[in-house]
Amino acid sequence: MTESSKPPVIAIDGPTASGKGTVAALVAKALGFHYLDSGALYRLVALASEREGVSTENASFLSKIAASMPISFQDGQIMLGDEDVSELIRAEKIGRRASELAVHPEVRQALVRLQHGFRQNPGLVADGRDMASVIFPDAGLKVFLTASVAARAERRYKQLIAKGISANMSDLLQDLTARDARDSSRGSAPLMVAEGAIVLDTSELSIDQAVSQVLSWYRSSVSSQS
Ligand code: C5P
């Protein structure tokens, strides 16, 4: 397949709790595209390796787990073997563990092919940290979706309370700040605004407004190519 005949990709990167997952899934739905939640892959490695008692320092063992874990995505459910782990991987401690093991280049490399496999017709919306910079550098539209730390902590707080999980604002703020710092300062594929990416600050936007903005950028990018 030549570069230009590859299915189109919209890459949406951004920090934790910026709303990129929700926005990316809705953009994919509106366009009838596939959706890749790349953070879920790192979370799956975190869960699978925790169960095997593997340290987040053990890059070679972690990358073996990343390359061989029996995962599948079925009707919005995330499966590890025949177990639905969609909820389990959303735990705060699994997110923290994912961010710790995501610093290893070997682990990142082990997930590349899996991520490329999601690029199928009629197109893909991919969300993560390095979608635009590393995994799909030829994406037709690159968006860096962000929001202030305070807005993100508040959103996360509301999500957790709505699920009946107790939460504490100051712990959430501290955790988000630490995760941002770790994701942005790592040597391998750090969180950054990729070349050619458009920044969308959603602190003051509703989900619908953010989705409409991305769709309108995508439609203009398609019409400017044709
Ligand atoms: O996006 P989410 O919070 O689910 O991601 C969990 C962690 O996985 C992030 O904090 C980040 O360290 C890592 N990650 C990554 N590259 C991606 C997606 C997620 O390093 N493309």
Residue nearest to atom 10 of ligand 1 (CA): 99
pLDDT recorded at residue 147: 94
Q: Cβ atoms within 10 A of the Cβ of 139, count?
A: 25
Q: Ligand 1: residues whose CB is within 6 Å?
A: 16, 38-39, 42-43, 95, 98-99, 102, 128-130, 179, 183
- Interior angle at CA 107, CA 178 and CA 62, nearest 5: 95
Q: Please tell me the total number of residues recorded for the chain in this structure.
A: 226
- Smallest CA separation from ligand 1 atom 12, residue: 99
* pLDDT, position 224: 83
Measured by CA distance, the residue closest to atom 9 of ligand 1 is 99
Express each pLDDT in 157-183 by its tens digit: 998 898 888 889 999 999 999 989 988
Q: How many angstroms is it from 204 CA to the middle of ligand 1?
A: 24
**Rounded percentage of the chain residues whose pLDDT exceeds 90:** 82
Mean pLDDT of 131-159: 95
Spatial CA neighbour of 208 closest among 80, 23, 47: 23
3-state SS string over 23-43? HHHHHHHHHCCEEEEHHHHHH
Q: What is the pLDDT of residue 163?
A: 83
The pLDDT tens digits of the residues spanning 55-113 come to 999 999 999 999 999 999 988 899 999 999 999 999 889 999 999 999 999 999 999 99
How many beta carbons lie within 10 A of that of residue 6, not counting itself? 17
Burial 78-110 (b: 16+ CB within 10 A, else e): bebeeeebeeebbeeebbbbbbbbbbbebbbeb
User: Which tokens belong to 55?
Assistant: 């340290």
Name the pLDDT band for 189 (thresholds 50, 70, 90): confident
Residue whose token pair is 């991987």:
89
Domain 7-221 belongs in CATH node 3.40.50.300: yes
Quick one: average pLDDT of 143-149?
95
Indicate the top mutation candidate among 44, 78, 90, 99 to test ligand 1's pocket, ranked by most ligand atoms within 8 A of CB: 99
Residue 223 CA, ligand 1 centroid: distance in Å: 32
Per the CB < 8 A criterion, the answer to whether 167 and 160 are in contact is yes
pLDDT value at 1 more than 80 = no
Residue nearest to atom 16 of ligand 1 (CA): 129
* Centroid of ligand 1 to alpha carbon of 118 (angstroms): 17
- Ligand 1 atom closest to 40 (CA): 4
Ligand 1, from 20, 38, 93, 177: best to mutate by most atoms within 8 Å of Cβ? 38
Between these two residues, 91 and 52, which has the higher pLDDT value? 52
Question: What tokens appear for 155 in the block?
Answer: 């959103």
**Confidence grade of residue 208 (pLDDT, cut at 50, 70, 90):** very high
